Amino acid sequence: MAGALRALLTVASTVDAALPTWAVVAGAAAGWAAALAPAAALSSRLSTSYRGLSPPVRVEWLSRVVSNLHAAVLTPALAAAVFGDASLATGGRLSAGPAVHGLLKVGLGYFLYDAVLVTAYRRTISAPGQTLFHHALVLSSVSWVLSVRLPLATVWAALLFLTEASTPFVNQRWFMAFRHRQSGAYKVTGVAMTVAFFAARPLYIPFACVWMLRHRVLWEGLAPSQLQVLLAIGVFVTVGLYALNIYWFSLMARGLSKALRGGSGGAGGVPAANAMV
């Protein structure tokens, strides 16, 4: 696992240096879209629930499979890049910047692809308005981060991407809702989803902000005007995303409470289809 992560970070650094941002983002968006085809083939072969769905609901199913893949690739890679940066850990300058930039471009491609998909299927996909608001914040802020390439902004974007760790729990609960809503496993999945979502989003985001601010080296060399812009954009986007995650968590908590009391509301609400943070 460690070797695979090191190789992935090396590839990300190479891609960041060799290709313009637009090419990486466009290629990543096309790649995430192409992943829908094998997701459909595997789901059709392995899942009786998928085979019984209408075409529009199948689209959301497949989008969630791809979002799981996105989480499985980017979350550990960005965590390794930031928290595993030996220079940053010892008070030195961020050395993993190129790798993080490469990974952020791949993530930007994912959100571009998913924004197009949600727009095309906005009449049938879950919470399209919330999802598109979320994606607009991510697309605009990460594009800005890649344009300024300042260490503080780079680490901020990477840390927010790590909230994607909760996505597979959300998706698994959604998958199980079609055939297992009355099972004990469904309720256990609802509990796991709610706990994971709380840990990875409402609880984690303040921790990430404090962790970042404590690394004073990230602030070195910034002009006052740069710092003011960084703080203004960072606070606006972080508060917007945090408020959205608090709202989603409140839906989960209410649904989980009802389910554990024996109600029919399921094991917690599910937030927008492929939300990251």
107-144: pLDDT as tens digits: 999 999 999 999 999 999 989 999 999 999 999 999 99
Q: What is the pLDDT of residue 1?
A: 78
Q: What pLDDT does residue 259 have?
A: 76
The neighbour count for residue 133, using CB atoms within 10 Å, is 16
The string of pLDDT tens digits covering residues 140-169 is: 999 999 999 999 999 999 999 999 999 999
Quick check: 153 and 221 in contact, CB under 8 A? no
Dist CA 250 CA 232 (whole Å): 27
Structure tokens at 47: 């899942």
pLDDT score of 263 = 59
Q: Taking the complete model, does pTM exceed 0.85, yes or no?
A: yes
DSSP type of residue 92: -
Which single residue is written with the structure tokens 């499985």? 72
pLDDT tens sequence across 49-81: 999 999 999 999 999 999 999 999 999 999 999
Assess contact for 138 and 111: CB atoms under 8 A. yes
> Is pLDDT at 275 greater than 60 in this prediction?
no
Q: What is the pLDDT of residue 274?
A: 44
C-alpha 224/C-alpha 212 separation (Å) is 18
Q: Name the residue type at position 70.
A: H
Q: What is the pLDDT of residue 260?
A: 75
Residue 181 — very low, low, confident or very high, per pLDDT cuts 50/70/90?
confident
pLDDT, position 39: 98
Domain definitions of the chain by residue range:
2-260
pLDDT digits (tens, 9 = 90+) for 81-114: 999 999 998 889 999 999 999 999 999 999 999 9
Query: So what's the pLDDT on residue 268?
Result: 46
pLDDT at site 269: 47
Looking at per-residue pLDDT, the higher value among 81 and 263 belongs to: 81
Tens digit of each residue's pLDDT (9 = 90 or more) over 35-49: 999 999 999 999 999
Condensed to tens digits (0 to 9), the pLDDT of residues 11-27 reads 999 999 999 999 999 99
Coil/strand/helix, residue 159: helix
Euclidean distance between CA atoms 152 and 140, whole angstroms:
17
